[in-house]
A and B are shown apart, each in its own frame.
Chain A
Amino acid sequence: MAHADLISHETFTDPQPFVIAGREFRSRLMVGTGKYASNAQMIEAIEASGAEVVTVAVRRVDLDRTKDEGILHHLDPDQFFLLANTAGCYTASDAIRYARLARAAGFNEWVKLEVIGDQQTLLPDSVGLLEATKTLVDEGFKVLAYTNEDLVTALKLEDAGAVAVMPLASPIGSGLGMLNPYAIRTIKQRLSVPVIVDAGVGTASDACIVMEQGVDGILMNTGIAAAQDPVRMAAAMKSAVEAGRHAYLAGRMPRREVAVPSSPTTGMLGS
């Protein structure tokens, strides 16, 4: 049995590399950089998560210097792949403007495209999202589109040239976990581009269950940043994403409505 000690999930490699738009990434977990108590804590959490792709937002420089908000002093662009988002944009034209500004920063032509349609739920505006996707794809952007868990919208986004489609597990920052596993599975089954679940993951089990649906990756921010101990939660999310991925690849047993004994039914005493 000695060799059994050597078998961990690290023993098993993933038969499919995680590739978006021809670029391979080392981790299926992507993380945001918002809401941390400090930049030091953010960096420590990102390192514990093992993420390579980290999202950033585009905002005005605070010219009165009340606080140092710029993130590039803390985040080495050689170590991490910076994925700019268009968070906070409520129209296609705003999102396009933000995406262009982000690209002008000179790191890459990728964008996590958000067009929000409702302030209370922060749910995406599918019409605006599709419009912005088309424009940005025409301009040479690699668009990762944050969308509702709606198959038809996901198909249209893929058709419009999105390099990845990012359906939500539940609303941004809600921590409610995956509300519609059927929809997530259906999107994954029908799309050719990577499906990355974005938003709503609240704890490690949520992340694991998301990965068990067979999706290509997860993006999360609040689930880590709002934990009591963000660095430890980041490590937990790393393990959960890997565990969920392996469980998906391993193939779960069929569900049954009745019990099936695990021990032999023969050889009982007195038989």
Chain B
Amino acid sequence: MTESSVVTEAVAGQVVLTVNGAERRIPSGWMLADLLESLKVDARTVVIERNRTILRDRSSFDSLELAADDEIEIVHFVGGG
């Protein structure tokens, strides 16, 4: 996947990661809480997976620094049978 590595190297001071299947750029040094705030996601209403590990401790979001190539999944309950 040379395309994504090109993107990743493109801008210094930025981190490229995947959130809900889509690539996003964030400033380096951002914590998970910063990402949620920018996405207007209320941490209390969602469950978050980082690289396939569920992040159970919501109080850790403030100090959890995001890294390049992180795969973040943000899920919630929707209607279903």
- Partner-B contacts on A (CB < 8 A): 32-36, 39, 42, 55-61, 63, 65, 69-72, 82, 84-85, 87, 97, 100-102, 104-105, 172-173, 199, 219-222
Provide the residues of chain A in CB contact with B45, threshold 8 Å: 70, 72
Which one of A34, A63, A69, A97 has the greatest number of beta carbons of chain B within 10 Å? A63
Q: A33-B81, A35-B81 are in contact. Are A100 and B75 (CB under 8 A)?
A: no
| B21, CB-defined interface residue at 8 Å | yes
Residue contacts A-B, CB under 8 angstroms, 14 given: A33-B79, A42-B79, A55-B80, A57-B81, A58-B47, A58-B76, A60-B75, A61-B75, A63-B41, A63-B74, A69-B79, A72-B77, A101-B73, A104-B47
Judging by beta carbons under 8 Å apart, are B77 and A60 in contact? no
Tally of contact residues, B, Cβ under 8 A: 23
Contact A70 B39 (CB under 8 A): no
Hey, which chain B residues are within 8 Å of A101, CB to CB? 47, 49, 54, 73, 75
Q: A72-B45, A104-B56 are in contact. Are A59 and B81 (CB under 8 A)?
A: no
Q: Does residue B19 face the partner (Cβ distance < 8 Å to A)?
A: yes
Nearest B residue to A30, CB-CB: B81
Contacts of B41 in A (CB 8 A): 61, 63
Known contacts A101-B54, A221-B81, A61 near B49 by CB under 8 Å: no
Inter-chain CA distance A172–B40, complex, in Å, is: 35
Q: List the 7 closest pairs (A to B, CB-CB), nearest first.
A: A57-B80, A32-B81, A221-B81, A33-B79, A56-B77, A34-B79, A104-B47
Contact B80 A32 (CB under 8 A): yes
Other 7 A-B pairs with CB < 8 A, given A56-B77, A60-B20: A32-B79, A32-B81, A33-B80, A57-B79, A58-B78, A61-B76, A105-B47
- With contact pairs A33-B81, A34-B81 given, residues A70 and B47 touching in the complex (Cβ less than 8 Å): no
Asked if A60 and B73 make an inter-chain contact with CB atoms under 8 angstroms apart, the answer reads: yes
**Inter-subunit contact B77/A57 (CB<8 Å):** yes
Scan residues 1-58 of chain B and give those whose CB is less than 8 A from a CB of chain A. 19-22, 39-41, 45-47, 49, 52, 54, 56
